[in-house]
Amino acid sequence: MHDLESLVMTNSKPQVASPVTAKGAAGANPVIARGAAGANPVIARGAAGAPKQSDFTELPGGVTAAKGFRASGIHCGVKKAKKDLALVVSDTPASAATVLTTNKVQAAPVLLVREQMAHGKAFRAIVVNSGNANACTGDRGMEDARAMVAATAAALKCAPGEVLVSSTGVIGQYLPIRAITSGIATSAAALAPAGGHAAAEAIMTTDTFVKECAVEFTCGSARAVIGGMAKGSGMIMPNMATMLAFVTTDAAVAPGALQAALSRASDRSFNRISVDGDTSTNDMVALLANGASGAAPITEAKGEAYEAFASALQHVLTALSKMIVRDGEGATKFIEINVTGAADEASAARAARAIANSSLVKTAMNGEDANWGRILAAVGYSGIEFDPAKTEIAFGDLPILRKNYTIDFSEEEAARVLHEKDITINVCLNGGEGSASFWTCDLSREYVAINANYRT
């Protein structure tokens, strides 16, 4: 019953909404800074591999927008008052894919999920607590993670191997496991097709708003849905994805193809955001696919149906990624960095990452200071091959630095551009066809205040 064909249900197909064109990642369309008459333009084309235009339609509902999924979010006692326990359940066995932190220090739930993914073939649920990371907790931490899995399996009447577990919060403290296991029973009783929003609330820590996205798209001859929720505000610098995200789909996708799509989409979304340059111990993206849409199974990481699925998935993950950046701790500005003209996409991404992680660039943006030298210096220490004299920099459509270090801009006009809440930094290296986008935020005094008092 756990083979791929068993994941395709015979439910009636969802009603097809009127399709709208989704543009994908910001910056996918060229942004041109024209400079002086006759000057070479600075062109930022956005992330290579950004979602192609498609007929997918955004929907409400988050992780329960897809058919055959229920969720809940409750307060069980990890936090003083706010929701702190989320449960997402597929009504039928689902294939799964995950992308996990590369931090050498890994929380107990991350270690357990690695073990589960190595041996499991089908999954039913994801249980998540917030307020406590269950990281650096040794043998007891692993016992507690297994206890969460066991309690969830008992409540759902499924096998423990079908339950994925995740935690987020303060490092180095033991879970109040009795409160959590008791809460899991309550969560199971509260499961509902409209419970996605409550679950998204329950995974928040320092987040200031709920992060959800869902789209309906054409998958072969049928319509399918992908929905997701994420949390993240601080300790954000992906070497995977420095946050938690949980995604569901009613498309039927074989594990190998599902993993390929998730890895690619994560690399071009969650792996291209930064708030503070820190990679967490608990990072996790988990995706469940249960086939309840009735769409024909996607068995390989190729073909029209696979590309439609991968495009819709990247749209959801990119949207969630940008929400995380906009909610960066103490952030006052959302910054998109577009690097073009690099030798290849990897070089462009490396340069963009260096700019995004530069404390000097981020503080300059906070102070609305057109300090282009910090941007060029970041590209210089990124380790890529490029010619600094050919590099051009623009803030939005305002040229700042042209070739041969030519500088001719109005400080007043630059101040006007940098005063906006959304800022675009366009860097053209004029050395190839590689391009990539990265998203970050400014670094403010409030960020220091939040993290100076995080445990209190």
Enzyme catalytic residues = 242
Tokens 């954000």 appear where?
236
Q: Which helix (H) or strand (E) holds 367?
A: none
N residues, the chain: 456
The three-state secondary structure class of 145 is: helix
Q: For residue 194, how many other CB atoms are within 10 A of its CB? A: 13
Contacts of range 150-153, beta carbons closer than 8 Å, 24 or more positions apart: 151/180, 151/181, 151/184, 151/185, 152/87, 152/125, 152/127, 152/184, 152/188
89 bridge partner residues: 70, 125
Sequence-separated (6 or more) residues with CB below 8 Å from residue 38? none
3-state SS class at 144: helix
Instruction: Give the residue among 100, 84, 356 at the shortest CA–CA distance from 199.
Output: 84
Q: Which residues pair with 58 in a beta bridge?
A: 215
DSSP string, 287-299: EEE--TT-PPPB-
Sheet holding 392-395, edge to edge: 273-274, 434-441, 334-342, 422-428, 392-395, 398-402, 406-407
Could you give the 3-state DSSP secondary structure of residue 342? strand
